[in-house]
């Protein structure tokens, strides 16, 4: 039988031989060309979904590059060899902490402000349930919210008598004023999407955060459509909380996410649902202390292999170069935003202003056509994936850097045929 030291040596060697480097962002990315002529093709070759479909669904589920899948699988296999061994657990925790560090750097937060979660919804609920709601208390949300925010707020209405107010977000220049008009002495929280899933409208988040701070009202941003789609700097925005996920625009595995909690509001954010791992210390006589930072909101068994895979996707983006990725997305968004109004009977719904455009491009079909019907026809007949949204005639086209102008042209050609 192998000795404990032999098993530790085996585990460490296995990890070193099968995983991409944890401490050196980009170390595993040497195969991605740095030159302007070939970087895009090399990146596209890593995404299997692009060989299957015309993929315009990154706002729902981003397709992970192969290296992300390989890393996640390697971590799962490592974990399964000896899941309870302290060395295994330690390696997986280091994978998580490496992701936390790189994510903080990517979104302009401190490492201590990052709580790793399973998804955006988990972070939203963490904040909502930290408030001691009373009947008649108010929450202000946007009028284009995802069920990830709507359902928890409906639950607050039913359980505690909280009053929900909705504020329009479609006019960027008026969004802050619209929120402020709805505030009263009973407003406990403003919770709103940074980027609307249904229209691509971008909230003037920094201006809203400043205005709310002057009034002593915290701001929670639903960032599901933020990082990877638009630049995010948590400290520059100045909101109190920012919840995000890894599986959309950041192309990480499913069941990965994070809640950013501003350092100066951490102590004023009570822990509500919790478990093992959230404590810095505890005993069996009722004494405990929380972790000193945002880790107090992390607990129980979590998908550490997936978080390690998310770290690899963040490394990949860092090596590709965020400025280059964003420039490519801006080019595609501009192209689609210019081409859609030129099509007979199609209307551009998402922002046309270059300063507000992003990867979410929404078009409106002519009267008599439903987004759900066109979604089905494109998926079934043409192997093109787009998204129907709340407005029945609208279709969402999500443009990540790996999409092409030719794919946009093909999509528009099929829409012309179906809407003729």
DSSP one-letter code for 202 = B
Same domain, 155 and 255: yes
Residue 393, in any domain of the structure: yes
Same domain, 348 and 306: no
Percent of the chain clearing pLDDT 90 (strictly above): 90
- Structural domains in the chain (count): 2
Reported pTM: 0.91
Cα separation, 11 vs 5, whole angstroms: 10
Q: What SS3 class is residue 261? A: strand
Same domain, 244 and 342: no
Which helix H or strand E contains 360, and what residues bound it?
strand 360-364
| DSSP bridge pairs for 226 | none
Same domain, 256 and 402: no
Q: Over the stretch 254-269, which tens digit does the pLDDT of each residue have?
A: 999 999 999 999 999 9
Q: Over the stretch 12-26, which tens digit does the pLDDT of each residue have?
A: 444 433 333 333 333
What CATH number does the domain containing 365 carry? 3.90.1150.10
Strand order in the sheet with 187-193: 114-117, 257-261, 241-245, 219-222, 187-193, 138-142, 163-167
What CATH number does the domain containing 269 carry? 3.40.640.10
Contact between residue 413 and residue 406 where contact means Cβ atoms under 8 Å apart: no
Residue 327, in any domain of the structure: yes
249 has a pLDDT exceeding 60 = yes
Same domain, 360 and 408: yes
Residue 4, in any domain of the structure: no
Q: What SS3 class is residue 292? A: coil
Same domain, 145 and 273: yes
Cα separation, 200 vs 214, whole angstroms: 28
Contact between residue 62 and residue 252 where contact means Cβ atoms under 8 Å apart: yes
Given this model, what pLDDT does residue 38 score? 87
Residue 132, in any domain of the structure: yes
Q: Over the stretch 219-242, which tens digit does the pLDDT of each residue have?
A: 999 999 999 999 999 999 999 999
Same domain, 306 and 363: no
Given this model, what pLDDT does residue 9 score? 44
Same domain, 307 and 332: no
Residue 136, in any domain of the structure: yes
Residue 204, in any domain of the structure: yes
Q: Which residues contact 102 (CB under 8 A, 6 or more apart)?
A: 25, 311, 314, 315, 318
CA-closest candidate to residue 144, choices 360, 368, 384, 366: 360
Same domain, 180 and 247: yes
Residue 33, in any domain of the structure: no
Given this model, what pLDDT does residue 370 score? 97
34 has a pLDDT exceeding 90 = no
Cα separation, 42 vs 133, whole angstroms: 51
> What domain range is 381 assigned to?
322-418
Q: Over the stretch 92-103, which tens digit does the pLDDT of each residue have?
A: 999 999 999 999
Same domain, 160 and 304: yes
Q: Over the stretch 43-77, which tens digit does the pLDDT of each residue have?
A: 999 999 999 899 999 999 999 999 999 999 999 99
Contact between residue 129 and residue 273 where contact means Cβ atoms under 8 Å apart: yes
Residue 49, in any domain of the structure: no
- Averaged over 341-360, what is the pLDDT? 96
- Averaged over 262-288, what is the pLDDT? 95
Cα separation, 57 vs 43, whole angstroms: 18
């Amino acid at each position: 039988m192998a000795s404990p030291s032999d098993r530790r040596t085996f585990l460490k060697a296995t990890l070193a031989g099968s995983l991409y480097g944890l401490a050196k962002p980009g170390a595993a990315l040497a195969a991605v060309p740095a030159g302007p002529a070939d970087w895009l093709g090399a990146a596209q070759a890593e995404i299997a979904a692009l060989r299957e479909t015309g993929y315009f669904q990154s706002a729902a589920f981003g397709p992970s590059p192969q290296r992300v899948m390989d890393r996640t699988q390697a971590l799962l296999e490592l974990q399964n060899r000896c899941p309870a061994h302290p060395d295994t657990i330690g390696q997986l925790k280091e994978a998580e902490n490496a992701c936390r560090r790189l994510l903080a750097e990517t979104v302009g937060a401190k490492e201590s402000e990052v709580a790793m979660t399973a998804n955006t919804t988990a972070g939203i609920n963490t904040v909502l349930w930290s408030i001691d709601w009373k009947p008649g208390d108010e929450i202000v949300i946007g009028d284009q919210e995802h069920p990830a925010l709507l359902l928890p707020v409906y639950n607050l209405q039913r359980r505690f008598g909280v009053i929900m107010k909705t504020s329009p977000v479609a006019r960027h220049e008026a969004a802050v004023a619209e929120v402020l008009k709805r505030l009263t002495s009973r407003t406990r929280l403003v919770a709103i999407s940074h980027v609307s899933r249904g229209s691509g409208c971008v909230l003037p988040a920094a201006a809203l955060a400043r205005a709310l701070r002057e009034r002593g009202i915290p701001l929670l941003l639903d960032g599901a459509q933020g990082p990877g789609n638009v630049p995010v700097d948590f400290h520059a925005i100045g909101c109190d909380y920012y919840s995000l996920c890894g599986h959309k625009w950041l192309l990480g595995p499913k069941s990965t996410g994070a809640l950013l909690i501003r350092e100066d509001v951490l102590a004023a954010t009570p822990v509500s649902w919790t478990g093992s791992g959230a404590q810095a210390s505890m005993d069996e006589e009722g004494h405990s202390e929380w972790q000193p930072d945002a880790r107090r909101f992390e607990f129980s068994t979590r998908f550490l292999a997936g978080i390690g895979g998310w770290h690899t996707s963040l490394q990949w983006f860092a090596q590709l170069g965020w400025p280059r990725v964003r420039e490519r997305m801006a080019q595609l968004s501009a192209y689609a935003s210019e081409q859609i109004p030129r099509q007979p009977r199609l209307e551009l719904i998402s922002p046309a202003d270059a300063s507000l455009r992003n990867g979410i491009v929404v078009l409106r079909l002519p009267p008599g056509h439903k987004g759900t019907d066109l979604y089905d026809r494109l998926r079934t007949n043409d192997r093109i994936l787009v998204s129907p949204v709340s407005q029945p005639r609208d279709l969402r086209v999500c443009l990540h850097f790996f999409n092409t102008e030719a794919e946009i042209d093909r999509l528009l050609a099929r829409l012309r045929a179906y809407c003729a």
